[in-house]
Homo-oligomer: A and B are copies of this chain.
Amino acid sequence: MATIAAAAGRCSSPTRRQLLTRRRLPFSVSFSSTAPHAAAAGFGWTDALRVAGDGGRGDESDLSGYFRKVDTCNRGMDKRGEFVKFLVEDQVVGYVHKGFVKHLRDFHDVFTISGNNSSNTVENVSLQSSLRTPEDRTHAIGEVIKSLGEMIPGIRNELYPVTSSYGMPVYFSLERAAAPYFGIKAYGVHMNGYVEKDGQKFLWIGKRSDVKQTYPGMLDHLVAGGLPYGISCKENIIKECEEEAGIPRSISTNATSVGAISYMDIEGFRYKRDVLFCYDLKLPEDFVPNNEDGEVDSFRLIPVPHAANIIRRTEFFKPNCNLVIIDFLFRHGYIHPDSRGYLNLLQSLRSGDCS
Task: Give A contacts to B, CB under 8 Å.
Answer: 165-167, 232-234, 256-260, 275, 277, 330-333, 335-338, 340-344, 346-347, 350, 354-355
Contacts and interface: CB of A to CB of B under 8 A. Distances in A.
A343 B331 contact: no
A332 B280 CA distance: 9
B331 A258 contact: yes
A343 B330 contact: no
A346 B233 CA distance: 16
Contacts of A260: 337, 342-343, 346
A300 to B, nearest CB: 25
Contact of A346 (B337, B342, B354): B354
Contacts of A342: 166-167, 260
Find the residue from A165, A259, A260 having the highest chain B CB count within 10 A. A259
A122 to B, nearest CB: 30
A167 B336 CA distance: 12
A355 B350 CA distance: 14
B331 A166 contact: no
Contacts of A330: 257-259
A133 to B, nearest CB: 23
Given A166-B342, A258-B332, A277-B337, 4 more contacts: A256-B332, A260-B342, A260-B343, A331-B331
Contacts of A165: 343-344
Nearest to A262: B343
A344 B336 contact: no
Instruction: List 9 A-B pairs, minimum CB-CB distance, nearest first.
Output: A256-B333, A233-B337, A277-B337, A232-B338, A167-B340, A257-B333, A258-B331, A343-B355, A257-B337
A347 B354 contact: yes
Contacts of A347: 350, 354-355
Given A256-B332, A331-B259, A343 B354 contact: yes
Contacts of A332: 256, 258
Contacts of A259: 330-331, 346
B343 A166 contact: yes
A335 B260 CA distance: 12
A232 B337 CA distance: 9
A344 B167 CA distance: 11
A14 B275 CA distance: 40
11 contacts: A166-B343, A233-B338, A257-B335, A258-B330, A259-B346, A260-B337, A260-B342, A260-B343, A331-B331, A343-B355, A347-B355
Nearest to A237: B337
B336 A234 contact: yes
A261 B4 CA distance: 45
A343 B344 CA distance: 20
A260 B327 CA distance: 12
B336 A257 contact: yes
B167 A341 contact: yes
Contacts of A257: 330, 333, 335-337
A270 to B, nearest CB: 23
Contacts of A354: 343, 346-347
